[in-house]
Chain A
């Protein structure tokens, strides 16, 4: 953990963010009038400071709900990679861990997703510690320290009416140094993270298919898919092509494994036609498949799917149940 740090007042922090806004688009927690969300802000007074967790993860800063990825014309197909320099402010440790996982999944496999990679490259990520767990959070069971993450450039911790700012990367240090010289320095003493007993699955793939009663687990699920939209690690997508004037465009939109059409073949055959199969896919993908392929469990315990579920379902309870069943 970084030892070098400074302390900023809220006013100084706002000044720093305002300075960053001059040449970067800043995404920060802001209110839509109904909910707290990571929004592009062009005035620091629109930023909502505090411990409330935005209902949706900040993944769309890097992987937007909808983006144009190909333009078809007589000259051929062209792609414009995003060049906008951005700042993500106020991402919590759970989201930072999740973004790092997305980076691994989307850019470190056999193929590299150039859109995600470019956005990640162009971003200055400023993390923010959570003061406390919210209802539904289980980060401590998912090896996520709510007080610190190094998967960012700068990390902030609210301390009374001040903010401790930890330098995590050179990029962060540079960005900060360029804007505010001569501030109160302090030596950060790393705090010990005591994770709770880890919630993970070591299940054999086949056992998940044959020994678990997914029908019963999912009887109250409405297949609404909101869990996948608010999740910081869900990253399934679809392409949608449209014709406008004499050009054609391809958009990439979020898709959801909770939707029956997701896996529907042109022939009418559907490998995951039932909601029990679709829900199994979501849990198994996070807790088993990604672990098999990348060595990590792609759930950071942010609790968003639990808080959002209209039927009150909880992936934590489900995983705990599976562990018990397969023991």
Chain B
């Protein structure tokens, strides 16, 4: 971490992967290399502030394996000025990056447990560092069974589709893909995650659920999980907020006295229950 938390580092875009394949093509994953061979040490759950110089800055979660940080990957959906500007960049262009910021998923606390990942749309991106961290050969044995329920609106909206086949080869991994509405030639599931989660079998005694997706999905799924008997402190999610600084000073991302940029973005449902309804 450099001494000035507001000073970004220069990075080069070394690869761009088109994720969604519908007509909008609005999600791309950018692989970045810091200047001068520097590396950014981070842990699953943390985020960075990316700058398109002259346009602005916005927060994004890491989307790549923290143990392989020669390059870091960040998935970006085109939604506003900053993301528009980033989407117009090409391989070889410069981008500026600050971080890492925020807390992390409890990688140690999750050891010995089964994990149920539930991701909606772009929500898979901030979970990917944790997933790939667990799937590292040196780590895999520390965790139990891994189930994933990955949802997207349509078959063209899945991100990291290329990973699924690799992940499915790993021992004790089960991946369910689902889309909102029936389409021809779709062999996987159809339906919203909160309806499908009830069909999944997991050991309530030793499973953590890790959720990320649109707020409405997070609310519906966590409600179902609680009804199924999962304790609130074993349902983890990650929040997003409008942020400027990333270091708890600009005053935008607080929920009560807690700052999503410093005390979050990872919160358990038990923690969220104790916080005011302000997100």
Seen from chain A, the residues whose Cβ lies within 8 Å of a Cβ on chain B are 69-70, 72, 74, 76-79, 81, 105-106, 109-115, 205-206, 208-209, 235-243, 248, 250, 252, 255, 257, 262-267, 269, 271-272, 277, 281, 284-285, 288-290, 292-293
Partner of B251, one of A242, A255, A269: A255
Q: Beyond A70-B8, A113-B249, A242-B54, is A289–B257 a contact (Cβ under 8 Å)?
A: yes
Q: Beyond A209-B278, A237-B245, A289-B257, is A263–B5 a contact (Cβ under 8 Å)?
A: no
Within 8 A of A (CB), among B31-63: 35, 51, 53-58
Q: Beyond A70-B7, A209-B276, is A241–B57 a contact (Cβ under 8 Å)?
A: yes
**B109 interface hit (Cβ, 8 Å):** no
Taking a contact as CB atoms under 8 Å apart, the answer to whether B278 and A289 are in contact is: no
Return chain B residues, CB-CB under 8 Å to A292: 257
Q: Given A115-B6, A255-B244, A255-B252, 5 more contacts at CB 8 Å?
A: A70-B7, A72-B96, A112-B3, A205-B276, A262-B252
Return chain B residues, CB-CB under 8 Å to A238: 244, 250
Taking a contact as CB atoms under 8 Å apart, the answer to whether B251 and A110 are in contact is: no
Partner of A241, one of B4, B56, B240: B56
Taking a contact as CB atoms under 8 Å apart, the answer to whether B6 and A69 are in contact is: yes
Taking a contact as CB atoms under 8 Å apart, the answer to whether A114 and B252 are in contact is: no
Question: For the complex, what is the distance from the CA of A72 to the CA of B54, rounded to whole Å?
Answer: 8
Taking a contact as CB atoms under 8 Å apart, the answer to whether B54 and A111 are in contact is: no
With both chains docked as a complex, state the minimum distance between the C-beta of B252 and any C-beta of chain A, in angstroms. 6
Question: For the complex, what is the distance from the CA of A255 to the CA of B10, rounded to whole Å?
Answer: 27
Q: Mark B50-93, 1 if CB is under 8 A from A, else 0.
A: 01011111100000000000000000000110010000000000
Taking a contact as CB atoms under 8 Å apart, the answer to whether A209 and B277 are in contact is: yes
Return chain B residues, CB-CB under 8 Å to A255: 244, 250-252
B80 and chain A: residue at smallest CB distance: A266
Taking a contact as CB atoms under 8 Å apart, the answer to whether B80 and A110 are in contact is: no
Return chain B residues, CB-CB under 8 Å to A69: 6
Q: Mark B254-265, 1 if CB is under 8 A from A, else 0.
A: 111100001000
Return chain B residues, CB-CB under 8 Å to A241: 51, 53-57
Taking a contact as CB atoms under 8 Å apart, the answer to whether B248 and A111 are in contact is: yes
**B106 interface hit (Cβ, 8 Å):** no
Of the candidates B8, B215, B257, the one having the most CB atoms from chain A within 10 angstroms of its own CB is B257
B58 and chain A: residue at smallest CB distance: A266
Partner of A205, one of B57, B245, B257: B257
With both chains docked as a complex, state the minimum distance between the C-beta of A73 and any C-beta of chain B, in angstroms. 9
B277 and chain A: residue at smallest CB distance: A209
Taking a contact as CB atoms under 8 Å apart, the answer to whether A265 and B240 are in contact is: yes
